[in-house]
Amino acid sequence: MAEPLRGADAIALRAGRLWAAFPDVRLQPTGPRLTDGTHASAPAKLLGTHREPLEGLAATNRFVVVHVVFFAELRDERLFRVRAFFDVYGAAVALGVLPRPGTLGGRALLLLRGFGLRPG
């Protein structure tokens, strides 16, 4: 699907795919909303259990917590443009796609990326 999403139909389609893969997903705020009248931001976390395949990733049945910050442009006291910044690296670690930092696999990944071994 093309990024960024445009329009309510595209957002509804993406949300439907998310709810199919994570049927118990919920959004919880993690801090105060901040605004200056023209822009607003809101930190939150998505919590849910990965029960169905999602974009080529088999269901892991793992409970995941994905941190997100929403950033919105306001016009006439309404949301005009909204962007969401997700911790995709943290999500990949929680789903088991990437190794946890500090583990042998995590160190091997750093070595492959050219960072070398670090004393532990």
For residue 57, the 8-state DSSP code is B
Cβ atoms of 83 and 4 closer than 8 Å: yes
Region 8-86: CATH code: 3.10.450.50
Q: Give the pLDDT band of residue 4 (cuts 50, 70, 90).
A: confident
Task: Locate the domains of the chain by residue range.
Answer: 8-86
- On whether the CB atoms of residues 72 and 40 are closer than 8 A, the answer is yes
Question: What's the pLDDT band for 33 if we cut at 50, 70, 90?
Answer: very high
The β-bridge partners of 30 are none
- Report phi then psi at 62, rounded to 5: -100, 145
Q: pTM (2 decimals)?
A: 0.74
CA distance 73 to 35: 10
Q: Is the pLDDT of residue 11 over 90?
A: no
d(CA 102, CA 47): 24
Whether residue 2 has pLDDT greater than 90? no
